[in-house]
Structure 1
Amino acid sequence: MIACYKGNIQIVKYLLSLKANINRKSVKGNTALHDCAESGSLEILKLLIEHGATMDVDSYGMTPVLAAAVTGHNHIVEYLIKLPHIVSRKERIAALELLGATCVDKKRDMIGALALWRRALHERYHGDGVPMPKPKTKQVAAYDYVVEISDPQALNDLMADPDEMRMQALVIRERILGPAHPDTSYYIRYRGAVYADAGKFNRCIELWNYALDMQQSMLECLNPMTQSSLFSFTELFSFMMGEEGKHTSRGRLVPPADVYEILRVFKKAVKEINHGNQSLSRLPNQDRDLTYLTRVTVITLHLASLLTRMLENRTISEDVQHEIHKAIFDLNKLGIRARLGRSLLHLASCRDVALLVKYPVCGFPSCHLIKVLLTVGADATARDDEGNTPLHLVALANPCPAKVVKYLLDGGAHLDQVNNNGETFASLLRCQQIHEIIDVTQYSSLKCAAAKVIKQFKIPYKGVVPQALEPYIEMH
């Protein structure tokens, strides 16, 4: 398989002389013939067929001829479709249609695509045997409700409407490959990105939502492809909020980001976190890898940060404000603990979890997000695996944002709460003094002072003070 993919015919010949299993399948179900088709090695492909290679399907139901069509290797497709003993009429039609879609999206060859689609139509209706009409497919809003063309004259008219031609390519690809194939959602997202570059943001958002829905329905939760889709939305909305009112490179005005569109994606992200967290909770502790859950949670918090920024910077109705608070409340209610045992409030308070987006409009610690998280019930005294509270993590920001510190303290955080290393907020500050950030006297109490004395002088207290006070003393 490796030799076929790399196009090394001498090694292939040598391995065949050693009676290598020519039709052996990989974990993903592909054969050496698939690897030839994907790499474009026609000479090796002919050699394999001469030695008895068969046209098997991989785990996505793809035959080598379809694999060649997806990657755009015309010469492989043309060779294989002339071999009726291994490629059926149905496969021939699908390969020509799929190769046409690849010409549109990968090669930007509209004339070549039309020629291939005409050949496929002729094969459907005038090939050997009874006609094979195109199966009816559902009309999709993201595709502008286009219907697959079955008439040669209508195909000719496509040259006057490149946009519909691109939608035809997406419809054809989804019908042949199916929603589970990664190329289906990849090219939907690619087409959306092209629209965004052209300033057609609504078209982009509609297509990306369709791809995200497809991924969430077909892929396992927290899949990297779904993560990538959510991250793309974060970048897009960040760009729109950061560049609003300016002109794109193509002269189009960047519109304001629609709060309902951000909410729409945010709720899908919360759904992804919920399902991912449930899946992980069914595993033994030693088998839980929180990497993907943490990444999706951070992406979701960036979307939440954009929403809460809108609360402060825009005049929006009370209904919308309520919906934003409700959506973030639903996220907080999940009780997510990411890597290092960090809560949502920990992540929102940590400088190091900020996403590397091209157009950051809100960094972490995120003042407005922290404010809303506290409003919907986040615990300001929660400790991570290292004993840090959100306040400890804020202290590591340079400079430490006074507004965030005040929100956390007003939300119940304690200035003198210690982490596992005995460090407090004040001792973790590097370039500032605590009095430069807040009025310490405003957030000091006799209770805290008494607890500190008990801990400092190691005065026995367990079983002496009321049991309800013991955790309070312990955290100082």
Structure 2
Amino acid sequence: MNSSTFSDLCSSYTNKIFNSPNSLLCKIKSTNHELVEQCKRAIEGSQLTKGLRDELESLPREIRREIVKKVRNGCAPLFLVCKRGCVEIAEYLVTVCDADIEQRGLYEVPEDRSFHFGTPLWCAAVSGKLAIVKYLVSIGCDINAPSDSGSTPVRSACFMTHIDIVEYLVENGADISKPNINGGTCLINSVQSVSLCQFLISKGADVNAKDIQDKTALHYSIQEHRLETTKLLLEKGADPFAKSRSGDDALQTACLKGAHRIFDYLKSKLPYPLERLADAHELIGCTFLDEHNETRLAILHWRLALHMRHRDEDFIEKKPVIPLRAAYGYATEFKTAEELNNISTDVDAMRIQSLLICERILGISHKDMLFRLMFRGASYADALRFQRCIDLWRLTLEIRIERFSMLYSDTCFTAQALVRLMLDLFSRYNNLSPNDFNEQELPTFSDVLAVFLLLTNDIMEAQKLLQIKPVFRKQQENFDRVLKCITHLIYLLICIANSKSEKQLVIQSVHAINRQKIRSACTSDSLLHLCVSRLNVIKSTYFTDENNVRSIFPNFDVVKLLVETGSEINAKNEAKSTPLHVASLPYNYENDIVLYLLQNGADLDQPNKSDERPINMIASNPLNKIPLMNFINLKCLSATIINKYRIPYRNQIPKCLDDFVKQHEV
């Protein structure tokens, strides 16, 4: 008998056992359960009980192999004992039960609560179990087998600072230059340990290797305030002028992260021009102010910078010149000691100076700059200075749409935060009497319209980007969130517009977006679908009352405006539901909206994919007050009968009716 025939017989035997309800199957299940339980409780040096070993060895080898292959909670028995560091049980499972030494399992990293899918060797390396690592390497495990994130055992051991395991793996052929999917190398993962970095560099690790953000180990060392590691990397040839994708070199990274000891070390060791040092002192002063609320340290660094700029006869100008911005109150940067003294007692003026300095040095689209704009806006909102918040968040949204895309998560996040703030402000001021507040009613029409135009001007461009494969679900969801923002802005525009010219602007703006026939990316809903649904709400992590989000939809005024400006009344979404289908759902039902849709041509008898028809949904609703017979016509009934009985109609009816009949197909 050849080997393939024998294998086929064993497989057949195994399948019969596992698929037959007999006592042997029960024994196998109980054996597997007991094996998993003992593996979960195993400690270094422990063994399986004699009773369990006897049970396993009484079964054919093929059955043993199937038992140890079974996974519970993402892990097979071998993976469990590798995590526990039990060599004796691991050796038993491999030699007696033919356990697959490369069978992957699910591992939770305790430090960051993340989950990864890797081999037993990867699991042992991350767990810091040197003995089991040695055993697995000795029996031929793939020493460079990556996890689901592309991280090899040695790279992950570097992250956990298991130096003994890193040394053993490297001595046995582990590749220290192989990065994970984000380009992170072993050296980047090791900046928390000087000795580990020293070892890796001695084995040929590239000190200037970059990840997908173009960051080197030096960037990460500075980010984590690792002074000794920074010194080592620089001594070993790390480039302090290498820039990340954001344009940050070593000195700028130290400024942004407030790593003052590294900042001082870099100044003492590298020949920076005086202008660069002045910029650096100004930037680290901003970080002390914004991140740590250290006004004294901020002023100190700004004074040092000013002293440097005035050191020679010619004043070192602050370059480039930043345009005057309404969001900053048209403020300009201080240039003299007197100007600095004037703002040193005004925290708000200092914070605006911080934004001016950061924009000049970092550029308006730098991620840290945009974060500071959002953070400063939130601070204004906390202080009930809402217009200042709107100004800064509007500027952030403009930059993110211009430089990135509305499909970008941070752009969507900004749009949601801004629109949600406007909705809350409108609700707040709408419920107050004129005597209850003194400031201008917010949000203003100009702000709402500006945000609406920001989100709609390039909406077609964003939708085209979603047609390019591969299509990412996250980008589709971001697009749909932006559409929800647009519908809420239409609501605000209708409510806030007072003059005839403002109302005309609203009509023109909504007509323009309607002409583009925008659909949601995930469900193909039109704007009209969204505006008749109670599920159309905006959530934002900037607000803490997410469980109490007030729904403003379905909304008659918005529906009316959309229909009047050209929304397709019988548009179908992915489920082939029309806006009338959505409006007829019990939790969305409002008589005035359903009646308005019917009066403007919504079809009562069009089926969706589930063969649900608005006529049945409305008729069964106890809240219905609409005389449905007034909206049923012979043409619609005829189309339904043709489809119901599958009557051939091609070339039997006028061509203009073909599409109408087809719309009534399930």
Contact in 1 for aligned 2:420/2:539 (Cα 8 Å): no
When normalised by structure 1's length, the TM-score is 0.89
1:198 to 383, 387, 390: 383
Q: Describe how 1:198-217 pairs up with structure 2 within 5 A.
A: 198-217=383-402
Displacement after TM superposition at 1:269 (Å): 1.0
Partner of 2:235: 50
Q: Which moved more, 1:290-299 or 1:357-366?
A: 357-366
1:377 to 566, 569, 578: 566
Partner of 1:347: 530
CA-to-partner distance for each residue in 1:196-217, whole Å, 9 max, x for gaps?
2222222222222222222233
Displacement after TM superposition at 1:468 (Å): 0.8
Question: Percent of aligned positions with the same letter in both sequences?
Answer: 28
CA-to-partner distance for each residue in 1:326-384, whole Å, 9 max, x for gaps?
11111111111222322221222333342225574543333322121111010111112
Gapped runs of 5+ residues in structure 1? none
Q: Specify the code of the residue in structure 2 equivalent to 1:341.
A: S
Partner of 1:441: 629
2:603 to 414, 420, 425: 414
Partner of 1:332: 514
Q: Specify the code of the residue in structure 1 equivalent to 2:525.
A: R
Separation in 2 of the partners of 1:410 and 1:203? 45
1:82 to 237, 258, 268: 268
Q: Describe how 1:361-400 pairs up with structure 2 within 5 A.
A: 361-398=550-587, 400=589
Q: Describe how 1:299-338 pairs up with structure 2 within 5 A.
A: 299-310=485-496, 316-338=498-520
Q: Specify the code of the residue in structure 2 equivalent to 1:325.
A: I
Separation in 1 of the partners of 2:214 and 2:588? 54
Partner of 2:356: 171
Q: Which moved more, 1:354-363 or 1:22-31?
A: 354-363
Q: Specify the code of the residue in structure 2 equivalent to 1:201.
A: F
Contact in 1 for aligned 2:615/2:628 (Cα 8 Å): no
2:590 to 392, 401, 421: 401
Separation in 2 of the partners of 1:369 and 1:445? 28
Contact in 1 for aligned 2:407/2:476 (Cα 8 Å): no
CA 113–293 in structure 1, closer or farther in 2 if over 3 Å, else same: same
When normalised by structure 2's length, the TM-score is 0.65
Displacement after TM superposition at 1:6 (Å): 6.4
1:259 to 427, 435, 445: 445
Ranked by relative contact order (alpha carbons within 8 Å, sequence separation 6 or more), the top structure is 1
CA 456–270 in structure 1, closer or farther in 2 if over 3 Å, else same: same
Separation in 1 of the partners of 2:470 and 2:618? 34
CA 434–62 in structure 1, closer or farther in 2 if over 3 Å, else same: same
1:103 to 275, 280, 288: 288
Separation in 1 of the partners of 2:534 and 2:299? 52
Gapped runs of 5+ residues in structure 2? 1-184
Partner of 2:462: 276
SS in structure 2 at match of 1:352 = coil
Partner of 2:258: 72
CA-to-partner distance for each residue in 1:67-116, whole Å, 9 max, x for gaps?
1211222222122111124x444432222111111122221111110100
Backbone CA RMSD of aligned residues = 2.7
Displacement after TM superposition at 1:429 (Å): 6.8
- Count of residues in correspondence between the two structures: 465
Q: Specify the code of the residue in structure 1 equivalent to 2:424.
A: F
CA 323–399 in structure 1, closer or farther in 2 if over 3 Å, else same: closer
Partner of 1:460: 648
Q: Specify the code of the residue in structure 2 equivalent to 1:412.
A: G
Q: Residue 141 in 1 paired to residue 330 in 2? A: no
SS in structure 2 at match of 1:341 = coil
CA-to-partner distance for each residue in 1:35-56, whole Å, 9 max, x for gaps?
1111211121112112111111
Q: Residue 291 in 1 paired to residue 477 in 2? A: yes
Separation in 1 of the partners of 2:299 and 2:238? 32
Displacement after TM superposition at 1:274 (Å): 3.1
Partner of 2:662: 474
CA-to-partner distance for each residue in 1:189-236, whole Å, 9 max, x for gaps?
221222222222222222222222222332244322222221122111
Q: Specify the code of the residue in structure 1 equivalent to 2:609.
A: N
1:132 to 310, 316, 320: 316
SS in structure 1 at match of 2:239 = coil
CA-to-partner distance for each residue in 1:236-292, whole Å, 9 max, x for gaps?
111111111659xxx9878342222211111111124233124445x3697896333
Specify the structure having the higher radius of gyration (Cα). Answer: 2
Displacement after TM superposition at 1:407 (Å): 2.2
Displacement after TM superposition at 1:131 (Å): 5.4
CA 237–287 in structure 1, closer or farther in 2 if over 3 Å, else same: closer
Q: Specify the code of the residue in structure 1 equivalent to 2:563.
A: L
1:7 to 183, 192, 199: 192
Separation in 2 of the partners of 1:5 and 1:209? 40
Separation in 2 of the partners of 1:277 and 1:267? 16
Partner of 2:34: none
